[in-house]
Amino acid sequence: MTAQIELQNVDKHYGTFHALKNIDLAIDKGSFVALVGPSGCGKSTLLRSIAGLESISSGTLKIAGETMNGVPPRKRDVAMVFQSYALYPHMTVERNLSYSLRLKGMSRADAKKKAEEVAKTTGLSELLHRFPRQLSGGQRQRVAMGRAIIRNPKAFLFDEPLSNLDASLRVQMRKEIRSLHDRLGATSVYVTHDQIEAMTMADYVVVMRNGVIEQRGRPLELYDFPANKFVAGFIGSPAMNFIASSIDASGTRLIFDEYSGESIALEQRLEPNRKVIAGIRPEFLRVASEAEANFHIEVGTVESTGSATYISSQDQMVTVVQSERTELKPNDRVGLKVDSARIHLFDAKTEARIVTDAG
Amino acid sequence: MNRLPAPKLFLVLALGLAALYLFPLYWMYVTSLKGSSEIFANPPTFWPNDPDPSIYPETWARRTMATFLWNSLVIATGVTSLTVLLGTGCAYVLARYRSVWIDIGLFAILMLQVLPASVMITPLYVGFNQLGLLDYPRTAVILAAAGKAIPFYIVLVRATFMSVPRELEEAALVDGNSRWGAFFFIVLPLARNGILVLAILTFMQAFGEYIYSKSIITTQSLQPASVGLSGFLGPNSTDWNGIMAYAAIYVTPIVLVFVILQRRIVAGLTSGALK
């Protein structure tokens, strides 16, 4: 596989603010890459740098093998879908779709024909003569997509394209965007703050924070082997539980310091007396009998959506998700069991994953 | 119970103030149609006993109003073109970029707005004299009046540009347009209303420009209607219906334009403020 988009040692400064720090990233042709992270992490800046809307301060940016530093957006042959859709309000849907073609000098008739074709694949045929203000949110979203598709670009760049849609439409568009990507064999870079979007749509997920790539990998790799506490907390919903802990003097047991020193046997020996953070996903904790329990919590809230029940501790530090319903009430004391193979350990200081033989 | 009278009270107040403010306009039209003895009648008549519109063509011919109005038109057109041409680009830059220098520029522009024409005229006169511009007095007035009109124009057109989302331009750039293309084909059409309204306001203001014209233009055949009107007035002037007819001819086109376009003008002025 060849890299369609390549970033080498890319830095971006805004005055004294260091927005992107030494970013190295290669995006394979035909792959769907999601950039996720909290707001202000630099993911949008990275996307806009690829589009050419921001210039990079140093490093190299290549698209399809050509160096693109300083090349204006119009010569990069990438298409972008904006969060606000950015449809031209004074043009009809047809002219919105075909705008880029007419800029390239395509004749009116050809551009119109092409717009009609794209309208058909995106379900906009009936709306070609409407103006953006006469469309619903979902329809505008489709026009924005169509405007990108019509160009057959080297890469699609998506900047949080679904965040203005309501929840059910978002789920539907998620699938549509992904199937469109597969059908066109396109290369896509997708920025989102919603880790579910990233997990469900992308081949590769890149997690960013403070202008740095924290981890990259396949969605389930990130879920199963988060490189540090930040990624562990960011990927997965509800978020992973973190419990300040330590290894006992023999190096074979993990002591939950915050839960009156209750402990669990480790899969393997670790450095004795080391301070660690134990990360346990809510879905791998279960309510257990007194004999089985590894540690105990006081129940704070019990929420049920019907399909899932969320039990949170009073200190809000621990959440359990289970599919069975529960009789538990606030202030009940309950024992929780976890499979020690499912515990992620992070160094208390560096917050980096503690690599064990098990993974 | 207590809330009902308030809106009515304000309505009455508003109507009263409007009547007070518009009374001179009414008085101008009425007086122009009165006979010379009726003008000085006490108590005054609020509607002429014997309306006589013949004063209009007579004043038009006697005071060479065609020439005066033509000069007004030339000056107003010049001022408007210069303002729109220079101000639009300036307003765009001030709307799109944020830095300390932009803030300083904006502050300087607002300061220009503060200085009254009567203070500016002396240094301008001396400057124009040095440059030999006084030989082209209408051009000199256009330059001076445009300098006064541009700050107002920039500040308000800037608000219009700020209401055009930046993402639209970026979309156009990615779609294959150049920086200039995005400005001319995406931003300008969307800011068109605001620009149009402010161009009209600038035009109307320049059409009534007095101080610079009075000071700079000494040749009567080059003077605009505002200066022509003042030439009418003197310590002993008695031709009140002629003066009022002149004023009516001068003002009516402006009033008409305003009445016809008032909806758009109000919408255009607030377009930047409300989203």
Q: Do domains A3-234 and A241-347 have the same CATH topology?
A: no
Whether CATH 3.40.50.300 fits A3-234: yes
Residues in B closer than 8 angstroms to A82, CB to CB, are 167, 170-171
Taking a C-beta distance cutoff of 8 angstroms, is the pair A79, A23 a contact? no
Query: Residue B274: what pLDDT?
Result: 37
B212 and B78 in a common domain: yes
φ/ψ region of B106 (left if φ > 0, alpha if ψ in -120 to 50, else beta) reads: alpha
CB of A71 within 8 Å of any CB in chain B?
A: no
C-alpha A6/C-alpha A16 separation (Å) is: 26
CATH number of the structural domain spanning residue B104: 1.10.3720.10
Contact criterion met (CB < 8 Å) for B168 and A78:
no
The tokens of A196 are what? 């579910």
Residue B131 lies in a domain: yes
How many beta carbons lie within 10 A of that of residue B94, not counting itself?
A: 20
B149 and B230 in a common domain: yes
| Domain boundaries defined on chain A | 3-234, 241-347
Contact criterion met (CB < 8 Å) for B168 and A147:
no
B17 and B94 in a common domain: no
Residue B275 lies in a domain: no
B129 and B201 in a common domain: yes
Report how many domains make up chain B: 2
B145 and B35 in a common domain: no
Residue B5 lies in a domain: no
Residues in A closer than 8 angstroms to B172, CB to CB, are 88, 99
Residue B240 lies in a domain: yes
Residue B57 lies in a domain: no
B44 and B68 in a common domain: no
Query: Residue B2: what pLDDT?
Result: 55
CB of A275 within 8 Å of any CB in chain B?
A: no
Q: What is the pLDDT of residues B134-179, one digit of tens each?
A: 889 999 999 999 998 999 999 999 988 998 889 999 999 999 999 9
Residues in B closer than 8 angstroms to A103, CB to CB, are 175-177, 181
Q: Are strands A344-347 and A333-338 parallel, antiparallel or unpaired?
A: unpaired
Residue B1 lies in a domain: no
CATH class for the domain made up of A241-347:
mainly beta
Burial A187-210 (b: 16+ CB within 10 A, else e): bbbbbbbbbebbbebbbbbbbbbe
Residue B228 lies in a domain: yes
Pick out chain B residues at pLDDT < 50.
1, 272-275
B175 → chain A, closest CA residue? A100
pLDDT tens-place values along chain A, 359 residues long: 578 999 999 999 988 899 999 999 999 999 999 999 999 899 999 999 999 999 999 999 999 999 999 899 999 999 999 999 999 988 999 999 999 999 999 999 999 999 999 999 888 999 999 999 889 888 999 999 999 999 989 999 999 999 888 888 899 889 989 999 999 888 999 999 999 999 999 999 999 999 999 999 999 999 999 999 999 999 988 999 999 999 998 888 999 887 777 889 888 888 888 999 999 999 999 999 888 888 889 999 999 998 999 999 988 889 999 998 888 889 999 999 998 889 999 999 999 998 765 44
- Cis peptide leading into B43, omega within 30 of 0? yes
B111 and B242 in a common domain: yes
CB of B166 within 8 Å of any CB in chain A?
A: no
Taking a C-beta distance cutoff of 8 angstroms, is the pair A193, A36 a contact? yes
B241 and B131 in a common domain: yes
Domain span at residue B258? 63-270
Of A78, A86, A147, nearest to B168 by CB-CB distance is A86
CB of B97 within 8 Å of any CB in chain A?
A: no
Residue B6 lies in a domain: no
Contact criterion met (CB < 8 Å) for B174 and A53:
yes
B190 → chain A, closest CA residue? A90
Query: Residue B273: what pLDDT?
Result: 39
CB of A218 within 8 Å of any CB in chain B?
A: no
Distance from CA of B22 to the nearest CA of A (A): 39
